[in-house]
Structure 1
């Protein structure tokens, strides 16, 4: 199938020049970027898509075997970039998509020339000398709760992930997004996300990279941002005046400004 149909690819902004590809995280879709798109699209071609199983993607294209690894999602990104003949694009990945972008950029360096990692985490599980934010037991309990009652898990966890309790509408939006995802697909994506370990992949990043972290984030604490920054050669770390795991919703202006400043500095 044409990747544009499979992944519900859309684009806005001027054609020509450098493209900016926006990639959503677990349980979300391209709509999560709507508040930052207008600022980016004034200067750049902005390409959005949904991972298979999310949003307006082609559900018939979903395969548990393919999408049980981040490499399956990275292959989707590669195929979209090839289909659109993108060259030297900037890949902006939120949460787990930051690591998907690392894999895709390594595979097609001529098509992805820079990375922006928004609230990234290469590994969610604490390890010796590494704080991912969760113990192995925490992750297994999280996945067990998700697999036994996905809708209940979504209603409980989405507001926690979003943060900003004084703005309950944000937590409700994330809850609605989670609940719109097919539970069987979400279970596979969750295991792929929370059990992944991309720490070694970070060392092979060769493109200019911006790491955007939030001042408070229960999913990707600041120790993780510092780790990613230290692991990725020549990366830049920016701490947003934002809380929660989704700054593109909670602090869209600050997020867009940071991305635009990074883009302006690229050759």
Structure 2
């Protein structure tokens, strides 16, 4: 069974060190998105990379629309990967929706987690006014999902520049657009729906693992208010503002991303 999971999620183990650090990619991406970050950790850490089922080089035949109809299905996979590698007390770095997937996994089985680092996280993307601002009205999300269904390529070319938000670096937008387009459109749409309509606010109070929230500046997916909300509701959390703009600081500002993660790990 162990081999199945490692193959299913295209798991790679690199580097050396007694401390394991797991990098989990966000929606529409794969483990390759961490390529600028990994060199900063190879020397002192054992680095684990993987692709969610339906992303990257994962085994798409394992995709189950019922299992992956909520974030718990993805959290279960994270735990299975950790179990297969016999990990414990890992540092889990999750980008975007993976922040919440990692948190849900840590609530289920805290022994695998020593610290969680959330990069551009959001517990809820849809506004719940007047008490909660997530950045999107429900009809914004519905329009986005409809666009994915009607014109997948058009959706990718529309969304990529907005979320990357580094107009002077076209190559980053192009890479993200290509990453979006390489997905199976049906799986991508379901993952988008599960991501953008998820609500993890009620789960925050159950989370116990020390957490760093890295808040990007001018992030259209996870605005400043969301970072503040998370910090206020997550025990043992630290909130750090980044100078990196947009939703993909590990691509646009890898040096700052590495530095902030390392500062947290050495000081906490």
Pairwise CA distance, 1:265: 2.9
**Alpha-carbon deviations, 1:66-111, whole Å to 9, x = none?**
1111000000000000000111001110000000001111111111
Partner of 2:165: 163
Deviation of the 1:200 alpha carbon: 1.0
Give deviations 1:193-236, integer Å, cap 9, x for gaps. 00000011111111110000111100100110111111101200
Q: Distance in 2 between matches of 1:264 and 1:48?
A: 22
Question: Could you say what the CA RMSD is over the residues aligned between the two structures, in angstroms?
Answer: 0.9
Instruction: For residue 203 of structure 1, give the secondary structure of its aligned residue in structure 2.
Output: helix
CA distance in 2, matches of 1:124, 1:68: 17
| Partner of residue 120, structure 2 | 119
Among candidates 6, 16, 19, match of residue 4 of structure 1: 6
Q: Structure 2: 5+ residue runs without aligned partners? A: none
Could you state the TM-score of these two structures normalised by the residue count of structure 1? Answer: 0.97
Is the contact between residue 36 and residue 252 of structure 1 (CA under 8 Å) also seen in structure 2?
Answer: yes
Return the match for 1:221 from 220, 223, 232: 223
Q: Superposition pairs for residues 180-259 of structure 1, below 5 Å? A: 180-259=182-261
Secondary structure of 1:177's counterpart equals helix
> 2: distance between equivalents of 1:101 and 1:52?
15
Map of 1:151 onto structure 2: 153
Which of structure 1's runs of 4+ aligned residues deviate more than 2 A? none
* Partner SS for 2:128: coil
- Counterpart in 2 of 1:80? 81
Cα distance in structure 1, aligned partners of 2:52 and 2:167: 28
Partners of 2:232 and 2:164 lie apart in 1 by 26
Q: How far off its partner does 1:124 sit?
A: 0.5
- Counterpart selection for 2:266 from 233, 254, 264: 264
Partner of 2:108: 107
Number of residue pairs the alignment of both structures matches: 265
2:148 match: secondary structure = helix
Structure 1: runs of 5 or more not aligned: none
The residue correspondences of 1:31-50 to structure 2 (distance < 5 A) are 31-50=32-51
Structure 2 distance, partners of 1:43, 1:111, is 19
Q: Answer yes or no: is the 8 Å Cα contact 1:93–1:101 preserved in 2.
A: yes
8 Å CA contact 1:213–1:225 kept in 2: the answer is yes
